[in-house]
Chains A and B, each alone.
Chain A
Amino acid sequence: MVTFIVRRLIATIFLLIVVSMITFAIFFLIPRLAGQTTYQLATQYVGRNPTPAAILDIETKLGLNEPIYVQYGRFLKALVFGEHYTSGTGSTYCPPPCFGYSFKTQQPVWPQMVSDMPVTISLAIGAAILWLVGGVTIGVISALKRGTIFDRFSMGIALAGVSLPIFFTGLISLELFSYKWPIFPNVTFVPFTQNPALWARNLVLPWVTLAFLYAALYARLTRAGMLETMSEDYIRTARAKGLQERTVIVKHGLRAALTPIITIFGMDLGALLGGAILTETTFSLHGLGLFTVLAVQNQDLPEILGVTMLAAFFIVIANLVVDILYAVVDPRVRH
């Protein structure tokens, strides 16, 4: 198992390097190939009516006029060893993993992402627990009570959950429970360490909204998996051997049906940790998702690069965890 993990970690590093190269190429190389000059690129980071000298100064300061491989090399070096950036009166140290220096805010990118992480992690983990527990439970019950009113009703709700976009359900929930009946007023992020009760209260609406979408998907997946599994021969064998129905369902049925759920859960959670863009935007939560939106809006290349790398990291790590969990859940993998 240790060899397996080490091998996957090494592969992860190579994968991240490839991701960084592709991202770097998309934002630094392709515009040049399309005819954009570095002078034009620098113009985006100067105020209105800039003088040519000011644009040239910015071009030099940001290193945009250097060859692409030099810029990429500097990026990798900062990532591994950190970097010092001048703030005019002194220098600001950006410790590794330093993702560069924002063209717009003139601040290192990494500390900004770190300060946004608690929001996204709080949102993603809380919602993930809700949708996993809720979705799987509903899916199992629906499968076992196939064709009943509960099954039809829950699957109808699930269909609505999958169909309705978050910015719709989010706005509805805000309108009803924050503005009209202020049960959850003033939804703003309060750090857990500062006030756990307020942290939870202010995240209830985003959690539920986000979980509603995913729970619906998980309920349908679980139901389909359970229906298939429960019709397998080994389930009939287990029942024939006189095992309790609960044991048959949980130990033999659900366990087998969980394998695809774990796969998709890892992917979903990893992607969400990289930023729940719609939920954060709808609820005005300043996490990595909103950070991404702003980075793109501002054409702030170091920020875009940083958040892409971080999102890729989360997804790769989540996949690694999924692979390990596979071995736990499915004995066939261990062998």
Chain B
Amino acid sequence: MKRRGFTGLAAVGAVATLALAACGGGSSSSSTGGGGGGGASGPSGFNAAVNGVVNPSNQKSTGTLSFGLSSTPDSTDPGNTYYAFMWNFTRLYTMPLMTYTSAPGPAGSNVVPDLATAPGTVSDNGLTWTYHIKPNVKFEDGTTVTSSDVKYAVERTFDRTLFPLGPAYFTFLLGGNAAKYPGPFKDRKKNLMGLTAVDTPNPTTIVFHLAKPFADFNYVAAIPQTAPVPPKKDTGANYQLHPMSTGPYKFQSYQLNKQLTMVPNTFWNPATDPQAKQLVSKVTVTMNMNANDIDNRILAGDLDVDMAGTGVQAAARAKILSSNTLKQSSDNPISGFLWFAYLNTVVPPMNNVHCRMAVEYAANKVNLQTAYGGPYAGGAIASTVAPPNVVGYKKFDYYEATTKPQGDPAKAKEQLKECGHPNGFNIGVSYRSDRPKEVAAATALQQALSQVGIKTTLHGYPAGTYYANFAGVPKYNHQHDIGISFGGWAPDWPDGYGFFYYISDGAAISPAGNTNISELNDPTVNSLLTKFAATNDATARNAYTSQIDQQVMKQAAILPAVYAKSLIYRAPNITNVYVQRYYGMYNYAVLGLKS
């Protein structure tokens, strides 16, 4: 999942802070925000919202819950969005088939039914997934949601000219005519129901026929693209201006990329949507605000939530960390994001695994951590590719990232001998030149590698075209001898397949916009991912996560830098506040206001 700039990543307390949170916060409730009425109970203090619910309350308020955003949504159309904060925010006005448990702690990564009555049932051959939808869910105009509305929502995402920004899982997971289906705007046949891979035998049943088994399909069903869209109300590219709500709030007005106002959806029934709450009389989002202005307004009480959820900026961070009072109202969760460098497996001499291992050993992880903002503002030093909040994560450390974080030049030189370059080699390094932290990281790596004779040439590129034109174009890397490329990654869903497929499966390598920049095409990794996708048993499936992680690290295809963390300020006025582990930010679906 794409996440917006992490320029404001903030103070962190690594594992110790989590412990502190537990001490300061108590265990609190483990469900959706629990409390009965007044918001009198619940944990408080630094990191209190990481594992507990702060200000739990079901009390309704006549106030306005105001969000500020320093950028814009990629789209408010649930079928056309890929930003993490939007997947979180869309839960206020949509009900996809599945969603994530509204709860703090590890439970927040569990996928549970939303519009569906139960998780999908899979056929014995793994090719058919059946969902039954709740029979009494209504759109904001009072019409009842049917399975055809879900099918249509999926169909429209096939038109990549109108909806190019959302994920394309349905395009390659579904069978039937999915590979060539152009979407309902171009294929008007069969009453707009031309996608043969999805059946709707009755108004409450929807059946997906896959091209090959895919055990993670419940996660795919949790993407906002399965939120129902009534065909008659679809306005195509303009649907973003007023998506038909099935959630607790509906659009009242939306000035594109400026101001969104939502009001309660009177046809929403809390009994059918237990993962969301309707506690305020208005929700507003002001977009394109100055990021520092957002922080200051939240601190001043003029704004409630920074919608991007990536943490406060440096100025506010200093203010918060220097004030015990403010610090007690902040949280410092692991965001689920990994900052790292791809080590190219094709560009010579990096095509030799020992040359890549030399880079792994030589890198000074402390300097990389400092470059990303330090132990408080950047994150914890990473020794694995998967961050700790990926289901199935296991800690290991093949290259002494945590035991010798300053790097191990002796071992690096041993690896250089093994790869036939005992005196080092020359290689290009690419990074996003408009991201100061990445510039600092590239410089830090250059310095560390020079200690063992690896001479690097730095190539900075604009973030906007980094994947499209430079680092994400294998041919470009080959032509320019770029063997190390900085990047960041967060999964579309929090298990091993969701995290690893696009950055390490050989099948994911593409000529432009490539995210497997290492060009890793390792048979073991590919095979493990294939098995992962075909294993329906969750326990067995999640056991593959660490195996894949270890194999990627054995291949030294990725140099992990930090498990990103962010410092989020918790406005004292908001209720039901906790970090939803999957999103790495507060759960927007349940927020309320103190009266």
Contact = CB atoms under 8 A, between A and B. Distances in A.
Interface in B234-257: 234-238, 240, 255-257
A333 interface: no
Interface in A62-93: 86-90, 92
B297 to A, nearest CB: 7
A71 B331 CA distance: 51
A178 B300 contact: yes
Interface string B383-425: 0000000000000000000000000000000000000000000
Contacts of B510: 49-50, 52
Interface stretch (B162-170, B337-345, B367-375): B162-170
B165 A46 contact: yes
Contacts of B288: 284, 286, 290, 294
Given A107-B256, A188-B286, A284-B286, A51 B172 contact: yes
Given A54-B160, A57-B160, A186-B297, A284 B473 contact: no
Nearest to B164: A46
Nearest to A185: B302
Interface residues of B, number: 54
A147 B165 CA distance: 64
A153 interface: no
A66 B209 CA distance: 38
B161 interface: yes
Contacts of B171: 51, 54
Contact of B469 (A36, A60, A105, A282): A36
A148 interface: no
A223 B451 CA distance: 60
Nearest to B464: A299
Contacts of B473: 40
A302 to B, nearest CB: 14
B538 interface: no
A175 interface: yes
A171 B295 CA distance: 12
The contact size tier of chain A is 35 or more
Question: Which of B234, B286, B512 has the most chain A CB within a 10 Å cutoff?
Answer: B512
Interface string B289-314: 11011101101101000000000000
A244 interface: no
A44 interface: yes
A115 interface: yes
Contacts of B164: 45-47, 50, 54, 57-58
A106 B302 CA distance: 32
B292 A171 contact: yes
B508 interface: yes
B522 interface: no
B72 interface: yes
B274 interface: no
A290 B259 CA distance: 14
B165 A294 contact: no
A281 interface: yes
B139 to A, nearest CB: 17
Nearest to B182: A57
A178 B303 CA distance: 13
A24 interface: no
Nearest to B231: A89
B167 A61 contact: no
Contacts of A40: 465, 468-469, 473, 512
Given A49-B502, A49-B508, A286-B288, A294 B235 contact: no
Contact of B289 (A55, A105, A179, A284): A284
Contacts of A45: 164
Interface in A154-196: 171, 174-175, 178-179, 182, 185-186, 188
A286 B255 CA distance: 11
Contacts of B515: 48-49
A53 B464 contact: no
B300 A182 contact: yes
A90 B236 contact: yes
6 contacts: A48-B2, A52-B511, A89-B234, A115-B255, A174-B293, A186-B302
Interface of B: 2, 72, 74, 82, 156, 159-162, 164-168, 171-172, 185, 234-238, 240, 255-258, 286-290, 292-294, 296-297, 299-300, 302, 464-465, 467-469, 472-473, 502, 508, 510-513, 515
